[in-house]
Amino acid sequence: MISAADTAKAQRARGALRLSARRRGPLSEIGELYQAGSMRLLFPQRRGPALSAVMLNTAGGVTGGDQFALDLEAEAGSHLTISTQAAERIYRAQPGPSGQVTNRLVLRDNTRVDWLPQETILFDQASLSRRLEIDMTASSRLLACEALVFGRRAMGETVDQLHLTDRIDLRIDGRLAFADRLRLTSNAEAQLARIGVAGGAVAMATILFAASGAAGHVPALRDMLPNTGGVSALSGDLIVLRVLGADSYALRQSVLPVLAHLNQAALPRTWMI
Amino acid sequence: MGMTIRTATAPTIIITMTTDPHLILHQIFSPAFPVGAFAYSHGLEAAVQGGIIGDATDLQGWLEDILNHGSGWSDAVLFAHAARGDDIGPLNELALAMVPSADRRLETEKQGAAFATCARDLWGVDLPNAAYPVAVGRLVHLLGLPQRDALRLYLQAFAANITSAGVRLIPLGQTDGQRITLALAPLHQTIADRAITADLDDIGGFVPMVDIASQRHAALYSRIFRT
């Protein structure tokens, strides 16, 4: 007989992906590729020298107890662009462990990685523990965007209960250059309404851009941002940008020009729909 | 009450003093201690100019968010680890990496350096320059000062400094400012008590409005504070 616990166990999704990008002549190509469980990579038709990959969660989202792990490596000289086919949905979790998502990016010498997943949408009673760990060399170039949407306002959804920890560690030549330790638990709707939190906004994006001379982009980016956004150069080669949006649509309106400016190339098609 | 000073220089010198350690705490957290705290608003100036903060209620809410979910809590945990003698290298690296803007990096680095410089001169301790909460926590360790009391006073001094900035910027009456300081006292106690036993992995919060205000400060047309 199958117990309820076994059923719950069986329903938990597992996914693992490993991908390396390798430079061959002027082009970046797939080096190593490993896919297991409910995570898949799609490789759309090439539009330039970069290797473009689109992540697909075949489980349709993340809920409590799920475990997803992604390891990406840009080998020397390569250019890798990553996006997702759809917004990631973090669904209501049953009591128990949080969904675990661990994303690791390694940028070897003279590489470029564009980490451009679409928004992560958190539903009421979602429970997620997520990490983004980036290890890069100072000779590389990184553009990373993470957008969070707390309930779909247009659908009348609110997030009353939430357990979210979302951690970013960016290391440049082994030194911790930026660390984000986002933690939002209990009544997210009430928290988001607070004056120092989001003033009622329900969507937020964080963009990191690490490249030689990155600070030079600050004035142009400042002019693009609404008054709910800010950008700062933590060093000459690293800028951090944070922007709030009243909903996911407003957030995209703020984020798209910033990404288009920093990407200096067409954004992944999944962003353009 | 006696106290012991250990310096990290070899050979270890142990100095026993008879000064009440609370007098040392009040000295290092006094606005007169030359760290230049009065020059920093932690992003408040941008929030006032941006119309986000307009009265005492707004300011108190803003401070509660910083204390509960922003650098108040994060710095308290870093302080507590430094105060119990943990290696300050990784603590300092994390403290600086968590700062969301160049202004805030300046705020914690400059105050930390000024604090360490003065402490070295006063007590002859081997205290390197570090982010402000890490430098202060380290001195608490080196002088064997009471950690929980130190952390409570640290939080109160931090919030009272931003409150003073608010009194000037909004502006508010002096009594309004003191009312906020009094109202926040229980929060300083509970946050200090939790931070004393917290792990570094317990660090975390969510105050994007505060982060964004600190990022926007550098672009303000006219400024009276450095952050």
Preferred mutation among A197, A221, A241, A255 to probe B, highest tally of B CBs within 10 A: A197
- pLDDT for the residue numbered B11: 44
**Residue A88 resides in a domain:** yes
Preferred mutation among A194, A204, A228 to probe B, highest tally of B CBs within 10 A: A194
- What is the DSSP-derived secondary structure letter of residue A171? E
Q: Is B62 on the interface with A (CB under 8 A)?
A: yes
Q: What are phi and psi of A127, to 5 degrees?
A: -140, 110
Q: Say whether B39 sits in a helix, a strand or coil.
A: helix
- pLDDT for the residue numbered B17: 58
Nearest by CB to B52, from A199, A230, A233: name it: A199
**Residue A14 resides in a domain:** yes
Say whether B215 and A228 touch across the interface (CB within 8 A).
Answer: no
Quote the longest CA-to-CA distance of chain A.
Answer: 65
Neighboring chain A residues of B212 at a CB cutoff of 8 Å: 228-230, 242-244
Domains and CATH numbers, chain B: 40-217 (1.10.4190.10)
> How many contacts (CB atoms, under 8 Å) link A and B?
98
**Residue A152 resides in a domain:** yes
Residue A87, judged by CB atoms within 10 A of its CB (0-12, 13-18, 19+), counts as middle
For residue A78, the enclosing domain spans: 4-264
Q: What is the C-alpha to C-alpha distance for residues B97 and A100, in angstroms, rounded to an integer?
A: 24
- pLDDT for the residue numbered A273: 55
Nearest CA in chain B to A178: B97
Per DSSP, what are the bridge partners of residue A175? A172
Question: Is the confidence metric ipTM above 0.90 for this complex?
Answer: yes
User: Which residues make Cβ contacts (< 8 Å) with residue B59, sequence separation at least 6?
Assistant: B44, B53, B163, B166, B170, B172, B180
Q: How many folded domains does chain A comprise?
A: 1
Dihedral sign computed on CA atoms, order A265, A267, A268, A272: negative
Neighboring chain A residues of B213 at a CB cutoff of 8 Å: 230
A window 18-77, beta carbon within 8 A of B: none
- pLDDT for the residue numbered B142: 97
- pLDDT for the residue numbered A6: 47
What is the mean pLDDT, run by run of 10 residues, along chain A of 273 residues? 48 92 97 96 93 94 94 98 94 92 98 97 96 98 97 85 97 98 93 95 97 98 97 98 96 96 85 69
**Residue A126 resides in a domain:** yes
Å between B15 CA and nearest CA of chain A: 37
Residue type, A114: D
Å between B11 CA and nearest CA of chain A: 32
Q: At what angle do helices B132-143 and B102-123 cross, to 10 degrees?
A: 20
Nearest CA in chain A to B90: A176
Preferred mutation among B99, B107, B200, B212 to probe A, highest tally of A CBs within 10 A: B212
Helix (H) or strand (E) holding A113: strand A112-116
- The tens place of each residue's pLDDT in chain B, 227 residues long, gives 344 555 444 444 445 556 899 999 999 999 999 999 999 999 999 999 999 999 999 999 999 999 999 999 999 999 999 999 999 999 999 999 999 999 999 999 999 999 999 999 999 999 999 999 999 999 999 999 999 999 999 999 999 999 999 999 999 999 999 999 999 999 999 999 999 999 999 999 999 999 999 999 999 999 999 99
- pLDDT for the residue numbered B16: 53
Count H helices, E strands: chain B?
10, 2
**Residue A204 resides in a domain:** yes
**Residue A137 resides in a domain:** yes
Q: What is the C-alpha to C-alpha distance for residues A207 and A193, in angstroms, rounded to an integer?
A: 23
**Residue A125 resides in a domain:** yes
Nearest one of A51, A50, A49 to A41, comparing CA atoms: A51
Token pair 């944070």 is at which residue?
Answer: A242
- pLDDT for the residue numbered A32: 97
Beta strands A39-42; A112-116: pairing state: unpaired
Neighboring chain A residues of B62 at a CB cutoff of 8 Å: 195-196
**Residue A229 resides in a domain:** yes
